[in-house]
Amino acid sequence: KAACQAVGHLAKVGLFGVTGFAFAEHAPLLALGSLCAVAGTFVGSRLLDRLSERSFLWLYRSVLSALALRLIWKVVPI
């Protein structure tokens, strides 16, 4: 899976480059995003080691439900 994702990301970088995306202009934000992805993976893997499967499923479903409710709330006119 990781190899497929790497190939996909490299393809996107190539396509963005061909279309004229200014990588240098956005380098600080790209670096910050990359750093946050690595940190999130590190923290997430540590949390998964401490959670039971039942707790993980409850947390996962709760977060997805909260996100779905937020999306509905933003779309429904009040």
Reported pTM: 0.61
Rounded distance between C-alpha atoms, residue 33 and residue 52, angstroms: 29
**Unique residue bearing structure tokens 């963005």:** 16
The alpha-carbon radius of gyration of the chain (Å, integer) is 18
What token pair was written down for 26? 């956005």
Query: What is the 3-state secondary structure of 40-71?
Result: HHHHHHHHHHHCCHHHHHHHHHHHHHHHHHHH
What token pair was written down for 59? 């947390």
- Quick: pLDDT tens for 13-62: 999 999 999 999 999 999 999 999 999 999 999 988 899 999 999 999 99
At residue 52, what are phi and psi to the nearest 5 degrees?
-75, 165
